[in-house]
């Protein structure tokens, strides 16, 4: 049995009944489970977390679009978070028994189906991108819904699927495949914000650090401490334990201790199992030795 995670971001985070309608449309598809739904009113955006196999997920995403197009109109949508479409972003994430290549294929199939059925232009991003300029979501989304008609007139921004102009009320959609993202923070036993900022600069990709780390240093003012706040975008290639150990060592060079760390939201079991393997120096450990993994695969 394959497990694919799918995390559609929709441009509605204020009307709870509307979000519930969208979630219900997904739940009505057999074989798809809704693991989480969280709405942010100031962003006016909801993030849904689904899991299932390819076929059920495709049906669920089409059901989501059908409902979302009926109830969300970007022409009257406001919110702090950048967005391009009613269903703004749809990433597929390989979790178990499925390859990234299979998730890329699925993203492209669903992108084509969405464009054909609903007339919404679709851009493919991250691992599913068809050219390097479209890998980063931020680049595709720059200009947002309000600038989309003008942006799409440039030949570089012809969509991967669908019409060469925005859908009137639903804009465009970005669909793709990526690794699971881990929101990971390390709290330092100090109030020195400069230390957190310097460590963040040392470990993030953009300033010379690890390839799959985004990081910033922030103050947790109510607690009188600082935090290195991170997104780990590929825990297989830049694992959580290596990031922790480097942050710990960097902090020590300022005479600062790690107070604690925290994982926000969901984390794949493999990231924690890999951490245990590292610190226990486990040799020849196989994922099938985890009892619950065996359970999922036993007949």
Using CB under 8 A, list all residues that contact a second copy: 3, 5, 27, 33-36, 51, 95-96, 180, 187, 240-241, 244, 258-263, 265-269, 271-273, 275-276, 279-285, 289-296, 298-299
CA-to-CA distance for 231 and 185, rounded, in angstroms? Answer: 8
Please name which of 6, 49, 52, 1 lies closest in space to residue 176, comparing C-alpha atoms.
Answer: 6
Q: Which helix (H) or strand (E) holds 39?
A: strand 33-40
What are 20's two structure tokens? 């519930």
Q: Output 86 or 228, the one with its CB closest to a second copy.
A: 228
State the nearest-atom distance from the C-beta of 37 to a second copy, in Å. Answer: 11
Quick check: 145 and 86 in contact, CB under 8 A? no
Q: Output 219 or 258, the one with its CB closest to a second copy.
A: 258
State the nearest-atom distance from the C-beta of 245 to a second copy, in Å. Answer: 9
State the nearest-atom distance from the C-beta of 38 to a second copy, in Å. Answer: 13
Catalytic residue among 43, 81, 167, 205: 81
Identify the burial level of 226 via C-beta atoms within 10 angstroms of its C-beta, where 0-12 means exposed, 13-18 middle and 19 or more buried. buried
Q: Output 104 or 267, the one with its CB closest to a second copy.
A: 267
Q: Output 176 or 274, the one with its CB closest to a second copy.
A: 274
Residue 272 β-bridge partners:
none
81 is catalytic: yes
State the nearest-atom distance from the C-beta of 49 to a second copy, in Å. Answer: 8
Q: How far is CA 80 from the centre of its chain?
A: 18
CA-to-CA distance for 115 and 295, rounded, in angstroms? Answer: 39
Q: Output 36 or 146, the one with its CB closest to a second copy.
A: 36
Q: Which helix (H) or strand (E) holds 246?
A: helix 240-253
State the nearest-atom distance from the C-beta of 55 to a second copy, in Å. Answer: 17
CB count within 10 Å of CB 82 equals 15
Identify the burial level of 292 via C-beta atoms within 10 angstroms of its C-beta, where 0-12 means exposed, 13-18 middle and 19 or more buried. exposed
CA-to-CA distance for 48 and 192, rounded, in angstroms? Answer: 36
Active site residues: 81
């Amino acid at each position: 049995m394959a497990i694919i995670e799918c995390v559609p971001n929709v441009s509605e985070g204020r009307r709870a009944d509307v979000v519930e309608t969208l979630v219900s449309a997904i739940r009505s598809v057999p074989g798809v489970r809704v693991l989480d739904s969280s709405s942010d009113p100031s962003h006016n955006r909801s993030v849904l977390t689904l899991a299932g196999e390819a076929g059920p997920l495709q049906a669920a995403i089409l059901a989501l679009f059908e409902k979302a197009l009926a109830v969300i109109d970007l022409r009257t949508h406001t919110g702090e978070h950048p967005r391009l479409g009613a269903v703004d972003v749809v990433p597929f994430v390989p979790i178990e028994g499925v390859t990234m290549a299979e998730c890329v294929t699925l993203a492209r199939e669903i992108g084509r189906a969405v464009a054909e059925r609903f007339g919404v232009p679709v851009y493919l991003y991250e691992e599913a991108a068809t050219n390097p300029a479209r890998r980063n979501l931020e680049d595709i989304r720059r200009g947002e819904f309000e600038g989309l008609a003008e942006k799409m007139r440039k030949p570089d921004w012809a969509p991967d699927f669908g019409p060469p102009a925005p859908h009137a009320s639903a804009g465009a959609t970005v669909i793709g495949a990526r690794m699971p993202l881990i929101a990971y923070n390390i709290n330092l036993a100090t109030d020195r914000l400069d230390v957190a900022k310097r460590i963040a600069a040392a470990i993030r990709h953009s300033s010379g650090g690890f390839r799959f780390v985004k990081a910033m240093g922030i103050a947790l003012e109510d607690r009188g401490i600082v935090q290195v706040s991170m997104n780990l975008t590929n825990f297989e290639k830049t694992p959580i334990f290596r990031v922790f150990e480097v942050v710990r060592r960097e902090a020590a060079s300022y005479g600062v201790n790690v107070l604690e760390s925290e994982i926000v939201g969901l984390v794949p079991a493999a990231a924690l199992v890999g951490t245990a393997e590292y610190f226990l120096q486990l040799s020849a450990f196989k994922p099938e030795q985890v009892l619950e993994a065996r359970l999922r695969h036993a007949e």
